[in-house]
Amino acid sequence: MFDRLDQIEARYAELNAQLSSPEIVNDSANYQKTAKAQGELTPIVEKYQEYKKLKKGIVDSRAMMAAETDPEMVAMATEELQELEARLTVVEEEMKLLLLPKDPNDEKNVILEIRAGTGGDEATLFAAEIFRMYTRFAETHRWKVEVLSSSDSSVGGLKEVIAIIEGKGVYSQMKYESGVHRVQRVPDTETQGRVHTSAVTVAVLPEAEDVDVKIEAKDIRIDTFCSSGPGGQSVNTTYSAVRITHLPTMTVVSCQDEKSQIKNREKGMRVLRSRLYELEQAKQQEALAKERRSQVGTGDRSEKIRTYNFPQNRVTDHRIGLTVHQLDQVMEGKLQPFVDGLVSHFQAEKLKAEMTNA
């Protein structure tokens, strides 16, 4: 590990020197690329430098304890040594986490897909509330949310909504939200006050770029049709809605939220690229050993991941056993305790897997 840290520190120093070079400074694209590379190494290098400082402090404290005869000074050095050793243990664990391979998708935007599952009208109402929850969460991070397509239910809920969320580190924060979200509450339509259980499915896909997924023109079929639902005078009068079929996988994407066929096609292609990217990732995941998959977690969207219990004002994430009795705040987008808990949990699992396979 320390050989690798020494190499990273040397590379960091090299990048720092390059950032002062007139050749790099005068080349905007090269400067940004170099600055980004340096920025990615900064947290690791700073942690390693703290580690080395702590190690030196420990050596100095032990030397003082050996040389001192004054009991008071020895006691002070002993106390300082204990503090330094405790901090060293923490920093060493933090360094191991920082050295874990980064998910290449962490900085990508995401395609968020929410669909009503079991529970009929109640499920569509909850789907709308879950979408609102994620919209509020995005607002706290100053991310941009754009609806790509949606389908309303007769009771004002959402049968399905697909949106793109754009911003810094979106996927790194939201990637563990994929799965079945279950709600327990008394629906407005329930006359006897019985608690019903409904569910929605959430999928969080990293937005794929052209370089991630190559789609040949011969592999897609594009059909146009009249929009339906809200949309003004152009609804049912112009062929602005678009249905894109990827023939090799028979993946179908529809988009009709825009009045322009061109814009609907652009949005549809963004969704299609991300779905094909996910399919390719799933194939690669299947190629991994079963034991390793179980160690690092797969974020399988078919898994029941969270329960929202309205009568008890309680939200429970079943993967990490975290329960929060502030459901009302969670539904307002206060998701950070769950996000942080999940990131820490899966990082620990990955670290355990790395240590096992080392």
Which whole-number Å values give the CA distances from 318 to 308, 326, 328, 353, in the listed order?
Answer: 11, 16, 19, 21
**Same domain (yes/no): 165, 276:** no
Pick from 68, 98, 128: which residue ends a domain?
98
**Same domain (yes/no): 77, 24:** yes
> Is residue 350 one of the residues assigned to a domain?
yes
> Is residue 196 one of the residues assigned to a domain?
yes
b or e along 175-189 (b: 16 or more beta carbons within 10 Å of the residue's beta carbon)? Answer: bbbbbbbbbebebee
Does the pTM surpass 0.95? The reply is no
**Same domain (yes/no): 150, 168:** yes
Pick from 50, 74, 98: which residue ends a domain?
98
127 phi and psi, to 5 degrees?
A: -60, -40
**Same domain (yes/no): 137, 244:** no
* CA 201/CA 302 separation, integer angstroms: 8
**Same domain (yes/no): 188, 325:** yes
Contact (CB, 8 A) for 349 and 342: no
Number of domains in the chain: 3
**Same domain (yes/no): 333, 247:** no
Contact (CB, 8 A) for 114 and 199: no
The CATH code of the domain that includes 322 is 3.30.70.1660
The CATH code of the domain that includes 92 is 1.20.58
Which whole-number Å values give the CA distances from 39 to 15, 36, 57, 96, 191, in the listed order?
Answer: 10, 5, 27, 18, 59
**Same domain (yes/no): 122, 152:** yes
**Same domain (yes/no): 195, 344:** yes
> Is residue 292 one of the residues assigned to a domain?
no
Please list the pLDDT of the chain residue by residue as tens digits (358 residues): 778 888 888 998 989 888 888 888 888 888 888 888 888 889 889 998 999 999 999 998 898 888 888 888 888 889 999 999 999 998 988 888 777 777 788 888 999 999 999 888 899 999 999 999 999 999 999 999 999 888 899 989 999 999 999 999 899 999 999 999 999 998 876 667 788 899 999 999 888 776 667 788 888 898 887 766 544 444 445 677 888 899 888 988 888 777 778 888 888 888 888 888 888 877 766 654 443 344 333 334 456 899 999 999 999 999 999 999 999 999 999 999 999 999 888 888 877 776 666 5
> Is residue 268 one of the residues assigned to a domain?
yes
Q: What is the pLDDT of residues 299-337, one digit of tens each?
A: 344 568 999 999 999 999 999 999 999 999 999 999 999
- The predicted pLDDT at position 94 comes to 82
Task: Provide the domain limits for residue 26.
Answer: 2-98
Q: Tell me how crowded residue 152 is: count the other CB atoms within 10 A of its CB.
A: 15
**Same domain (yes/no): 166, 89:** no
> Is residue 104 one of the residues assigned to a domain?
no
Contact (CB, 8 A) for 35 and 19: yes
**Same domain (yes/no): 183, 319:** yes
The CATH code of the domain that includes 277 is 3.30.160.20
**Same domain (yes/no): 181, 154:** yes
**Same domain (yes/no): 90, 153:** no
Pick from 98, 126, 151: which residue ends a domain?
98
